[in-house]
Amino acid sequence: IFFLSYCFEERGKMFSTNTVGTITIGPEGLLFTGDKSGKLRVWSLAGTKV
């Protein structure tokens, strides 16, 4: 039996006042989140040119 072990490096934190229901990766390193209030936020990872 073979198990994959992944190691993730923390690159930052995202904060939301409501529960995030959707996370989608967009073009050029953009990250889209949607919460239960209907608010859409667009995030860019630090060090990524947009």
Domains of the chain: which residue ranges?
A: 12-45
- CA dist 9 and 1 (Å) reads 26
What pLDDT sits at residue 5? Answer: 74
What pLDDT sits at residue 34? Answer: 92
Could you give the 3-state DSSP secondary structure of residue 28? Answer: helix
| Long-range CB contacts for residues 13-16, cutoff 8 Å, separation at least 24 | 14/43, 16/41
pTM score, whole prediction: 0.58
Full strand arrangement of the beta sheet holding 30-35: 20-25, 30-35, 40-44
What pLDDT sits at residue 48? Answer: 52
What pLDDT sits at residue 32? Answer: 92
What pLDDT sits at residue 47? Answer: 61
Whether the CB-CB separation of 47 and 41 falls below 8 Å is answered with no
Mean pLDDT by 10 residues, the chain (50 residues): 73 79 87 89 70
